[in-house]
Every structure is written in structure tokens, then in C-alpha cells.
């Protein structure tokens, strides 16, 4: 379409656009700076606490692979693919990314087309019946003079990064919970194996007392005591099945499956399995406290939320300034389609409008105060999340340190109680000790062995908790990678 050049209005519109572009270098509101914190130089509980040298946790591979369990690796793959909490967090990230793209659209003009046809009866200057045909193209653009759109885009990008960090935190939480549940299930298998061996030994002891009672060497109370001890151990073994079933159900849900269709086979019986699992504990480098700001996704999420709140202050303050709108339209309007392309049928317009609110009853001031308060709350939340992260690392470092020392002492207690049990049985067979001494020694041996296995379980659970506390090999640089990947995916979809 060819339109006659405007001789007087166009320079004014061009001047207004030039002024708008010149002013576009500024943006209302404060520029974001990460909230400062007084960070310690090192962890209070740091130090060498692990004697073995198994695989080490680092960012070059999936952290759970350091435990060397193929079944756990398979379960993790299923959870990453089918867990519904992860799927929900992933959908929320896509929602945040779309919101950021929507904010970025504010940089561009809005262009539309229209077409119409009408037939009307007019009584002015005589009765006239006629047709009217119109078609046009119109566009409008509000230059981002005061940076409101830029602050909105800044908030949207920070929000999408916060959502990406939230997705990473959700994934890490599910992975850690799955690893802990699975390791506890394997510890339960070890306890079931321990009770199976123990009840077999108690059954032999009961048979011994029955034989000695039959020949008049032992008392009837010895038989009753041996039988009571056996039945008590059998009852405790049955109770372990309830614990195992609950853990198996939890694992099924974490991997996105119904418990009815999910089963984990028991671990093969191996008296040395507890020692092997303890030896497989991975080395977990806690790093420096300052590293935690980049390695924990929940801290990155809180920091990005503070950036969102800071950008929204600029959006609120930009409302104090006038809004400039540039518009243009052109097209045809005629009573006959044949006359559309004649000069009299051509219509066009150019315009610029400046609008400013004079009085709003304190609305803008209230919005600005609200945005500042939201930012202050986000900063407080960020700092509290950082402090909570420090506590989690310190707690698990201390727990692993104490459990390592405790397991050494408990191992010695197991050896001593096993020796005491053997000696008591020999003395009972020789007639130099009562069966009560045997029961006492056997009960102590079972208690010590059960405690040692449980200690191994606590070490495994604490090691997973420490991995989660230090971020599981995650790094904040992945936020930009996630945003770039999402942007590339959106571009490929659009093309």
C-alpha cells in the first residue's frame, strides 16, 4: 500500500520516538545486588572423619552411583522419569518460563488488521441506501521509557531461574528420600537375616535344653526360658516385615508406581554385608561455607526470589512516570470495492499520546511500599535458607563423625558379646553355669549386633543427608543452562 507522505505530523512522531529511545537507557528502581551475609571461613564440624577411601561424590556423575548399587541406580532412573512431584515442579518451571516470555513481549509493538463490510440506510440529505467496505492495518507501541518492561523481564527471568532451582531442589529431595528409603530397606534385610540366624541358634539352644532336661541335667525352667527367648526373637523378626513393607510402598510411590505392582527382592543373605555397606560409604567433600551459596538449589531459589522482588520495586516505581504511546494506522474505506485503490479511499493516521496519573489516592505509593516489603521478606527468607543450609551441613558432619567413632566401639562390643555367648554355652554344656547366664549372653550378643547394623543404617542415611545438604553435585550455573535450553526449545517449537 502506498500512502502519501505526511509532511507535518511525521516529524513530530519521529521526534517523540527519538526522545523515547533516548530515555530508554534508564530504568526505575534499584539495580539488584545479592544480599550480603557474614559467612564463616569453615565449618565447625569439618575434618577427617572417614577412614575408608571408597568412591567420591562430585559433579561429574550422578551422586547416588557412588554407593555402587545397580538396583538403586535403576530406581533413581525411574523416579527421575515418573515421580509426580518432579513432574509438577517441571510444569511449574515451564509456566514460569512462559511468564518470562510474556513479559519480554512488552518490548515489541502490537500490530493488528481489520476488515469490514456494512449496508446502511441514511436519512441525512435525503434517503440513501449504500454499502461501505473497509480494511486497515494498525499498530501501537509503548516505548519502555522508564524501564517498566525491562524490570518486568528482569523479574520474569529471575522467576524462571527460581523455578528452575525449585525443580532441582524437588528432584534432589526426591532422590535423597528414595536413596534413604532404599538403604533403610536394605538395612532391614540385614536385620531380618540377623534374626534368621539368631532364631536358628536359639532353636538349637532350645533343643539342647530339652535334651538335658530329658536326662535330668537341666531344669524345666531352663526349657521355658529357652522357648521364651526363641519366641521373642521370632516375634521381633515378624515385626521387621512390617517395616520393610512400608519402605517398599514408599519406594513404589517415589518411582511413580502403585505399591500393588511393585516388589523389591530381599538382599542375599551375607553376614558380612553390614561391613561391606559401611565400607562403601562415599567420601563427601563439604567444601567451604561460601560454596553452599552456589551448590544448594533451595538457596539459589531463595536468592532468585529476592531478585524478582527487587525488580518488582522498579515496576512499581515506573508507574509514577507518564506513559508514552505511539500509534499508526492505514487502510481503505470506500462504498465500492472497485474504488478502494483510488486516492480518496485511502486513509492513514500517525499519533503520539502522553498520559500521566495526577491523583490515585496513594495507590502507587502503596504498591511501591508493598514491593519493598516483599523484597525485605525475600531477603530475610534467603538469609534464613542460607543459615538453615549451614545447620544441615554441620548437623550431618557431626552425625557422621560421631557415628564413625560409635561404630568402632560397637564393633568391639559385638566381638566381646559373641565371645561371652560362646563361653556361656560351653560352661552350660559342662554344667558349670546356669542357662540364665546363656540367655543373658545371647540377648546381649543379639542386641549388640542389631545396634551395629542400625548404626550402619544411620551412617548411610546421614551420608545421603549430607549429600543433599551440600547440593548433590548441583551448581547454580545450571540455572542459565536451563534457561538457555528452554529458550532454544521454544524457538525450535516456534519454527
Nearest to 457 by CA among 418, 391, 397, 403: 403
Identify the segments of the chain with pLDDT beneath 50. Answer: 1-18, 20, 22-24, 48-57, 493-495
State the pLDDT at residue 493: 42
Distance CA 30, CA 371 (A): 12
State the pLDDT at residue 487: 58
State the pLDDT at residue 124: 66
Set of cell numbers at residue 190: 540385614
Give burial (CB, 10 Å; 0-12/13-18/19+) of 347.
middle
Burial 21-36, CB ≥16 within 10 A → b, else e? eeebeebbbeebeebe
Q: In Å, how far from its chain's centre is CA 417? A: 45
Residue found under cell 485511502: 346
∠ at Cα 213 (431, 427), nearest 5°?
Answer: 20
* Spatial contact of 403 and 459, defined as CB atoms under 8 Å apart: yes
Distance CA 326, CA 12 (A): 11
Contacts 24+ apart (CB under 8 A), 111-115: 111/137, 111/138, 111/139, 112/137, 112/138, 112/139, 113/137, 113/138, 114/138, 114/331
State the pLDDT at residue 202: 94
Strand (E) positions, 356-395? none
| Distances in whole angstroms, Cα of residue 27 to Cα of each of 23, 83, 312 | 9, 42, 12
Set of cell numbers at residue 450: 542389631
pLDDT digits (tens, 9 = 90+) for 61-79: 689 998 989 999 999 999 9
Nearest to 198 by CA among 269, 267, 278: 269
Q: Is 111 helix (H, G, I), strand (E, B) or coil?
A: strand
State the pLDDT at residue 209: 92
* Spatial contact of 342 and 334, defined as CB atoms under 8 Å apart: yes
State the pLDDT at residue 195: 95
Q: Enumerate the H helices of 105-147 as residue ranges.
A: none
The percent helix, strand, coil of the chain (3-state, each to 5) is 65, 10, 25
Q: Is 366 helix (H, G, I), strand (E, B) or coil?
A: helix
Partners of 283 in the β-ladder: 56
How many C-beta neighbours within 10 Å does residue 408 have? 12
∠ at Cα 165 (163, 167), nearest 5°?
Answer: 70
Set of cell numbers at residue 359: 491523583
Nearest to 340 by CA among 136, 172, 494: 136
State the pLDDT at residue 153: 93
How many C-beta neighbours within 10 Å does residue 274 have? 25
| Distances in whole angstroms, Cα of residue 142 to Cα of each of 68, 100, 149, 156, 220 | 59, 19, 10, 19, 99
List of domains in the chain: 27-107+145-323+363-494 (1.20.1600.10)
Nearest to 364 by CA among 305, 322, 308: 322
Distance CA 387, CA 93 (A): 26
State the pLDDT at residue 460: 94
State the pLDDT at residue 317: 92
Set of cell numbers at residue 340: 478502494
Taking phi over 0 as left and psi of -120 to 50 as alpha, with beta for the rest, 362 belongs to left
Please tell me what DSSP assigns to residue 61.
S
CA torsion through residues 36, 38, 41, 46, sign: negative
State the pLDDT at residue 340: 64
Strand (E) positions, 302-396? 323-334, 346-355
Radius of gyration for the chain, computed over Cα atoms and rounded to the nearest angstrom = 37
Amino acid at each position: 500500500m502506498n500512502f502519501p507522505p505526511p509532511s507535518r505530523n511525521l516529524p513530530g512522531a519521529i521526534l517523540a520516538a527519538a526522545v523515547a529511545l533516548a530515555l530508554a537507557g534508564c530504568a526505575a528502581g534499584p539495580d539488584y545486588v545479592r544480599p550480603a551475609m557474614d559467612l564463616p571461613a569453615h565449618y565447625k564440624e569439618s575434618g577427617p572423619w572417614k577412614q575408608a577411601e571408597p568412591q567420591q561424590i562430585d559433579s561429574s556423575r550422578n551422586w547416588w552411583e557412588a554407593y555402587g548399587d545397580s538396583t538403586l541406580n535403576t530406581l533413581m532412573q525411574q523416579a527421575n522419569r515418573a515421580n509426580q512431584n518432579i513432574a509438577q515442579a517441571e510444569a511449574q518451571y515451564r509456566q514460569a518460563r512462559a511468564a518470562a516470555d510474556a513479559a519480554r513481549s512488552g518490548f515489541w509493538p502490537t500490530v493488528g488488521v481489520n476488515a469490514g463490510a456494512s449496508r446502511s440506510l441514511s436519512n441525512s440529505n435525503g434517503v440513501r441506501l449504500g454499502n461501505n467496505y473497509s480494511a486497515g492495518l494498525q499498530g501501537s507501541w509503548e516505548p519502555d521509557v522508564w524501564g517498566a518492561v525491562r524490570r518486568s523481564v528482569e523479574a520474569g527471568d529471575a522467576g524462571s531461574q527460581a523455578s528452575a532451582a525449585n525443580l532441582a531442589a524437588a528432584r534432589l529431595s526426591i532422590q535423597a528420600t528414595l536413596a534413604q528409603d532404599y538403604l533403610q530397606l536394605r538395612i532391614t534385610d540385614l536385620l531380618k537375616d540377623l534374626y534368621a540366624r539368631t532364631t536358628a541358634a536359639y532353636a538349637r539352644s532350645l533343643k539342647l535344653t530339652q535334651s538335658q532336661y530329658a536326662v535330668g541335667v537341666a531344669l524345666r525352667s531352663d526349657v521355658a526360658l529357652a522357648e521364651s527367648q526363641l519366641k521373642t526373637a521370632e516375634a521381633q523378626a515378624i515385626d521387621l516385615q512390617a517395616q520393610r513393607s512400608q519402605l517398599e510402598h514408599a519406594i513404589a510411590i517415589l518411582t511413580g508406581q502403585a505399591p500393588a505392582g511393585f516388589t523389591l527382592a530381599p538382599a542375599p543373605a551375607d553376614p558380612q554385608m553390614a561391613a561391606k555397606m559401611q565400607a562403601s560409604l562415599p567420601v563427601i567433600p563439604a567444601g567451604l561455607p561460601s560454596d553452599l551459596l552456589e551448590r544448594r538449589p533451595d538457596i539459589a531459589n531463595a536468592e532468585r526470589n529476592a531478585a524478582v522482588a527487587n525488580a518488582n520495586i522498579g515496576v512499581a516505581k515506573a508507574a509514577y512516570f507518564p506513559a508514552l504511546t505511539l500509534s499508526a494506522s492505514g487502510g481503505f474505506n470506500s462504498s465500492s470495492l472497485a474504488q478502494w485503490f483510488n486516492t480518496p479511499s485511502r486513509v492513514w493516521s500517525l499519533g503520539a499520546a502522553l498520559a500521566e496519573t495526577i491523583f490515585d489516592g496513594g495507590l502507587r505509593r502503596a504498591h511501591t511500599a508493598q514491593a519493598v516489603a516483599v523484597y525485605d521478606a525475600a531477603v530475610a527468607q534467603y538469609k534464613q535458607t542460607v543459615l538453615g543450609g549451614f545447620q544441615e551441613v554441620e548437623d550431618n558432619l557431626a552425625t557422621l563423625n560421631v557415628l564413625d567413632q560409635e561404630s568402632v566401639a560397637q564393633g568391639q562390643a559385638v566381638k566381646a558379646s559373641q565371645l561371652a555367648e560362646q563361653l556361656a554355652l560351653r560352661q552350660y554344656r559342662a554344667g558349670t553355669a546356669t542357662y540364665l547366664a546363656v540367655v543373658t549372653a545371647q540377648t546381649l550378643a543379639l542386641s549388640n549386633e542389631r545396634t551395629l547394623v542400625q548404626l550402619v543404617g544411620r551412617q548411610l542415611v546421614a551420608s545421603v543427608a549430607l549429600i543433599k545438604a551440600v547440593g548433590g553435585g548441583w551448581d547454580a550455573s545450571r540455572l542459565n543452562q536451563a534457561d538457555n535450553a528452554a529458550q532454544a526449545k521454544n524457538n525450535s517449537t516456534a519454527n
